[in-house]
Amino acid sequence: MWNNNNNNNWGNNQGGGWGGNRNPYGGGASQPAVYSQATSMTDRSSLVTKVMWFTSFSIIAAMAGAWTGAFQLKLTSFSGGTWILMLIAEIGLMIGAFALRERSGINFVMLYGFTFVTGLTISPIIHLLTDTGNGGIIIQALGATAGLTVALSFYAWTTKRDFSGFGPYLFVAVIGLVIVGLLNMFFHSAMLQSVIMYAGVLIFSFYLIFDVQRTKNFQNTVGNAIALTISIYLDILNLFLFILQILLSFRD
């Protein structure tokens, strides 16, 4: 599960996915981006366009990573040492993407390197599902995630309701989700697992609305677009992972 803190900051913790966090595995990664109190509609539209393109390319990079790991490397699992290296790579690349977000060229290397590695990380489950004839579930999860993302993003951009105050509550909800997930590792309750899955979808749906709406309050810079992209990408990734788990639960 990925962690993502968005208490109007770029880098604390959220939660989701197979078991954890949004800013990878919990940790702050950068300073808050610069707010603008009165951004024009032209600047807002330009920033949103950047975020949409960067997010789309991030998803493509993640899919490339998942494809490489699942079908080229045929990864079925990660050993302890390899998993630690993957974790370090993810955290390092994400921190680098935040820290160097205003440095032309290297910022995109860090951003898409980070998303590629996240795809590589989930490739074992992709390989397992396709190898057992359940590849269709992946397509269903991708379709459901795409539909939900478009609908929630449209709502976030057009609604007059302000979700900016939801950050602290979402952060607490994620912490609770992580704690419950850890407890379930020991008690293995099917009911508790169902609660985690559906709660994860709900929490990250609100987080996506929260993050998309924040694009109205940031200056139109590439660095801000990259920071917003990472947050939104991790929302979408967690939604996909939770939806995938729900679909798998229907097939036992």
Each residue's pLDDT, cut to its tens digit, for the chain (252 residues) gives 554 444 334 433 333 343 344 443 333 334 444 444 445 778 888 999 999 999 999 999 999 999 999 999 899 888 878 888 998 999 999 999 999 999 999 999 999 999 999 999 999 999 999 999 999 999 999 999 999 999 999 999 999 999 989 999 999 999 999 999 999 999 888 999 999 999 999 999 999 999 999 998 899 999 999 999 999 999 999 999 999 999 999 986
CA 86 remoteness from chain centre: 17
92 phi-psi bin (left φ>0, alpha ψ -120 to 50, beta other): alpha
201 closest CA partner among 14, 16, 5, 2 = 16
Q: What is the pTM of this model?
A: 0.84
Residue 103 lies in domain: 38-250
Tell me how many degrees the CA angle 233-239-244 measures, rounded to the nearest 5: 125
CA distance 115 to 65: 8
Does the residue 6 lie in any domain? Answer: no
* Number of domains forming the structure of the chain: 1
Does the residue 222 lie in any domain? Answer: yes
| Token pair belonging to 35 | 């707010």
φ, ψ dihedrals at 69, nearest 5° = -70, -40
Question: Scanning the structure block, which residue is given the tokens 């981006």?
Answer: 33
